[in-house]
Amino acid sequence: MGEHDSDKQMVNSPLYADLLQLRQSVAAQQSHIAATLDRAASDMGGGGVWEGPVAKTFATEIEGRKGEAHSLAQDIVDAVDAVLKQTPKQVTAAQARAYRKAV
pLDDT values of the chain reduced to their tens digit, one per residue, 103 residues = 455 778 889 999 999 999 999 999 999 888 887 777 787 778 777 767 788 888 888 888 888 888 888 888 899 999 999 999 999 999 999 999 999 999 9
Distance from C-alpha of 32 to C-alpha of 69, rounded to nearest angstrom? 10
- Dist. CA 62–CA 74, nearest whole Å: 19
| Residue 91 φ/ψ, nearest 5 degrees | -140, 170
3-state secondary structure 5-22: HHHHCEEECHHHHHHHHH
Q: What is the pLDDT of residue 77?
A: 92
Q: Where exactly are the structural domains of the chain?
A: 10-102
